[in-house]
Amino acid sequence: MFTRRTFLSVAMTAWATRQGRAQGPSTEKVVIEPGEAIAVIRPELHGHFAEHLGTCIYGGLWVGRNSPIPNINGHRKQAVEWLRELGIPVLRWPGGCFADDYHWRDGIGPPEKRPRRVNIHWGNYVEDNSFGTHEFIELCRLIGAEPYIAGNVGSGTPQEMRDWVEYCNYPSGSTLAEERAANGSPEPFRVRYWGVGNENWGCGGNMTPEEYAAHYRRFATYLRDFGDTRLFLIACGPGGNNLEWTRRFMEAMPRRVRMHGYAMHYYSSGKNQATKFTVENLRAQLATFWDLEKAVLEQRALLDKYDKDRRIGLLVDEWGVWDRMDPEEEKRYGRLFQQITMRSALAAALGLNVFHRQADKLVMGNLAQTVNVLHALLLADGPRCIRTTTYYAFELMKPHRGATAVRAHAPEAPPPSLSVSASRRQDELIVTLVNPRHDTGAELECAVTKGSVRAARARILHHPDFNAGNTFDAPDRIVPRDHPVTASGATVRLTMPPLSIVTIQAGLAGV
């Protein structure tokens, strides 16, 4: 079997980048092993997250039923269309930190009678609760996403969350099911994914692992399956690769307690504002995705010591880049508004490559967040709405969903270096390559160890300036384009400029 240490990379030729003359393309060899299956790439690995934070919900996804902005029953029409086109597999809501101060009854019933509440976590804004459970479920149905609800453990009670599950899932006949029907939804929502709290080591209660384990045990006891909906209960894991949190939590968790998922969070912090990154800080942020992969490996290995049958799936249900905020942009567009650049797209693709390579160890990933906040797919301001480079990174990698991940090896080099993931769907081979280097292109030879390739096609997302992005004034500055690629025998050849993402789809024979 090939290993990444099999390869050497050599440099030289010239590409122009914002930093001046780039080093020229090295000849680099990537090896794909289509006969070495890892696991099916669950579509949920490409999931997303929408929190009541800044203008992600209000002013982003939700503009209101009486808005002059084109909408579908209050949902921003353009956002619905683009998210449906991308195919959001699963959407997590209502937080985040907001989840552990959210009481679901505030968001049901006639909108004009819903209470106005202060969002204590994100700026003390007053929210009118016009976007609640029914609106969230409707949004999920409009875009084709599975709903994932994060319940309130920090300031809530087991009864409150237990009633929310019944309200959503009990078919008919109970008082809560009839209340749901009276509020316009006679059919159950069939919400499968339920997070039992969020970041309970921090904003969700500042608990110790043992304290949270005790809360989880109590809550999970009362969360039941109703009708044909089998719950998938998700426990709060660590922030980053905190092995002590996982060890102490699992030590306090009896095996008899139902737990189907365990969610870690992993943010890649940036030292600059989004459009002002230096080369040094670009490299430092993108290198964290090698640490993300290490975290996935180590967290899964530790879970395996307590869960040898892997009945508990590992999630990364918050991840992405978190740059320094521009106070003026936050004032105009809301808390944690972040411009999205070519660097952001590279980061998204590096993260998805990690998830593909570790498809046997993960069951879900949720990028933070969907609109305007942090690592967003869309940016919205009044009637304007644009797709970011992050959106296009996910679009380029969409063909991997549901395919079987196979072993793929890039040359060994210090991060951030060339990244690759590959998958196979019957006689089709899908390869995504990410070149996060700002100054080095590559002449690539992708060698297939078994069978042959033919009829290859490729698309690229690229810009020579890592601080460039799509803006309200230039919404199509960076979009995917067709890219030259050749396939002959067992080799696919292409050229990759610096700062680029390429997905190749090729016919595969003889495997």
Does residue 148 register a pLDDT over 80? yes
Does residue 246 register a pLDDT over 80? yes
User: By the 8 A CB rule, do 22 and 499 touch?
Assistant: no
User: By the 8 A CB rule, do 165 and 231 touch?
Assistant: yes
Q: What are 453's strand-pairing partners?
A: 508
318, 328, 395, 445: the active-site residue = 318
Tens of pLDDT, residue by residue over 87-97, are 999 999 999 99
Among left, alpha and beta (phi > 0; psi -120 to 50; other), residue 103 is beta
Tokens, residue 219: 């809550």
Which of the pair, 56 or 15, is modelled with greater confidence? 56
* 178 is a catalytic site residue: no
What CATH code would you report for 43-401? 3.20.20.80
Question: Which class would CATH give 4-40+406-509?
Answer: mainly beta
Contacts of 178 (CB under 8 A, 6+ apart): 172
135, 199, 293, 395: the active-site residue = 199
Tens of pLDDT, residue by residue over 298-338, are 999 999 999 999 999 999 999 999 999 999 999 999 999 99
Domain ranges across the chain: 4-40+406-509, 43-401
Between CA 339 and CA 394 the distance in angstroms is 17
Tokens, residue 17: 């980048």
Burial 181-219 (b: 16+ CB within 10 A, else e): eeeebeebbbbbbbbbbbbbbebbbebebeebbebbbeb
* 280 is a catalytic site residue: no
Torsion sign across C-alpha atoms 394, 395, 401, 407? negative
- pLDDT above 70 covers a percentage of the chain that reads 95
Contacts of 409 (CB under 8 A, 6+ apart): 2, 3, 4, 6, 7, 30, 31, 32, 33, 420
Does residue 10 register a pLDDT over 70? no
At residue 27, the pLDDT reads 85
Does residue 267 register a pLDDT over 60? yes
Going by pLDDT thresholds of 50, 70 and 90, the confidence category of residue 22 is low
| Per-chain mean pLDDT for the chain | 94
Which of the pair, 3 or 429, is modelled with greater confidence? 429
Going by pLDDT thresholds of 50, 70 and 90, the confidence category of residue 28 is very high
Between CA 151 and CA 194 the distance in angstroms is 7
Between CA 50 and CA 369 the distance in angstroms is 6
User: By the 8 A CB rule, do 504 and 456 touch?
Assistant: yes
At residue 24, the pLDDT reads 62
Q: Across residues 404-428, what is the average pLDDT?
A: 97
Does residue 75 register a pLDDT over 50? yes
At residue 1, the pLDDT reads 36
Q: Across residues 289-293, what is the average pLDDT?
A: 98
